[in-house]
Each structure stands twice: as C-alpha cells, then as structure tokens.
Structure 1
C-alpha cells in the first residue's frame, strides 16, 4: 500500500511547482517538469521494490503501481488546469485536462480494486492479466508519444506557441509513465508461494 499523505503531497507539490515554473519561462518550467516526473518515478519504483522485498502479493504490487501511475496522470491534468487558468492561455487546455483526469480515475479505480483483493487475500488472475495488457499498451503508447513529440517538433517546443508548457508536461509525464510501466512489467515481482 502507499501512503495517501505522500501521494497527495506529491500531487500538490508537483502541480504547484510546475505551474509556478511556467511563470519563470520555458526552460525553467521544462526542468521543473522533468525533475517532478523523476521524483514520481523514484517514489513509484522504490515503493514497488519495498513491497516486493516484504513479500507483497501481485494485487498489492499492481495496486501500488497503478496508484503511482494515477499520480502522474492526475499531475498532468491538474498542472495543465492550473497553468492554463492562472498563468498562460491556450484554448485547447480543457481536452487534455479531461484526458489526464480520466487516466488518473482509471488508474485509481484499478488501484482500489487491487486494494480490496489484497485486503481479502485473493488474487483475481483475470483482472491481473487485464492490468498486464493495459500496462503493455500504456508502455507502448507512451514510447510512441515521446518519439512522436520529438519527430513533430513538439519537444523541445517553440516557446512562442501557446502549448509549450503543456508539451513539457506531456513529454515528461509520458517518460515517467513508460518507466513505471516497464518496471511493472519487468521489475520486482511478487514471490510465488
């Protein structure tokens, strides 16, 4: 399980940091977005490793990983909401906020289901298989997004474009999700009984 206080604190601090950094300019905001995502990745990977070392079940590991993925999605959505409501102007912001919040809701919903299974001491193999396939899809999608943003010239982005702050959030959020997904697929796993 993860600490709700740590999760909420990371979300609030990460959102505030990247939104404030947008007032300081392109390179500062990009550096803060990268650093924030690096912290999220370290939290996610260390939590999964700690759970695996302590004998955590597959549902416990899947739930923890999903909660940290949800943090990245929530941070992306909230960062764009705050940035484009208080700092910058870009008319398409709301679509990406909805995507971030939707991704967060899916991840957190799955995490809650896994927490129930963990508390009950059961493993729903069908649900774990679905989670694995979704994680594979997310990993592939995030790799494609990162490569596509570089190829399309969206990263680094021309600071004259109104979506420059969103692109840094998209890019580093996608990198973070790819790393967390890869760790879920090939990193520490539950010990078989």
Structure 2
C-alpha cells in the first residue's frame, strides 16, 4: 500500500490509532501488517480509509469493514466524527450512532452503545475511557479526561475530570482523571 493512495490526514489518523495500541509509530506497511494480528486495530484501520477516501481503495475498505462488522458485531458508521487515537479494547458488540462526535484518545470498551432515538447522539471529549457495557443515551456531553465505569448508563452531561458509574450514572470521584488512557496521541508524535 503506497502513501500516494491515501490522504495525509488519513495516514495521520491511522498512525494515531496504531500509536495507541503499540506506543510507537511505524510505516504504513507495518501498520497494515498489524491488521492481521489485532482485529480491533484492523477495524479502525479500515474505518479510517472508508471514511475519508473516494477511490478504489475506499470501496475495498468498505467491503473489509463490512466483513469485520458482521464478524465482531461492531457498528461504527463511516460518517461518525472521530478524533485522533481511537482505541477499541476487546472489540465486540460496539454500536455507535452516526451523529455521535468522539474526541481524541478515546477508549471504547466491549458492548458499548452510543445511541439516540431522536436527534443527535453524545458528544465525547478528549482522553475519555468508556468501560465495558456502557450506554450513552441521547444528546449528552461528556467532558475531557472522564472515566465511565463498567455497566454505566449515562443520561446526563458529565463534567471534565469526573469518574462516573452506576445506573443512572452518577459522579463518584474527581481523583485521577483519564487514568486509563495509555499512550496518548499528541499531534507532535507524527
């Protein structure tokens, strides 16, 4: 796969996602090779290409993405606005509404749902950890450096630096904001 086939921004998004998994940058070939070993990164790799390119490689990416979506139950539409450094942990059963906005350095746990019945879905800030089996319901705002505990159902806005848990989710702490976000991507890494 050659650099001239992809836009610079797409390569940077893929590189930022790879950095979150490995902690280093690599050539596009090495990142492509890593897709055979990690299905979560493979999903983000093909998602980034399918979302930004209007060429033959886009058609290939959409077919690959569709196969991975069916195999692992991952439904992240190409139209979803996703920042740098997306990390999918134990990628299975994740459903995201296309109107969601996801910031930089966000971790998505297995069985996460970001949905909306009417209107827009959640807006998620930077450096946010979303644990397993979390539901973000409707048009809510999740601040920066937030940790959302496993099984939480978030129905209200969450301020910066908070840790929330429970059904419905409540703030339980302001200690150690964003503590589960490892290998944060910053623009100068590239």
TM-score w.r.t. the length of structure 2 is 0.26
Greater radius of gyration (CA)? 1
TM-score w.r.t. the length of structure 1 is 0.26
**Higher relative CO (CA 8 A, sep ≥ 6), structure 1 or 2?**
1
- The structure richer in helix per residue is 1
- The structure richer in strand per residue is 2
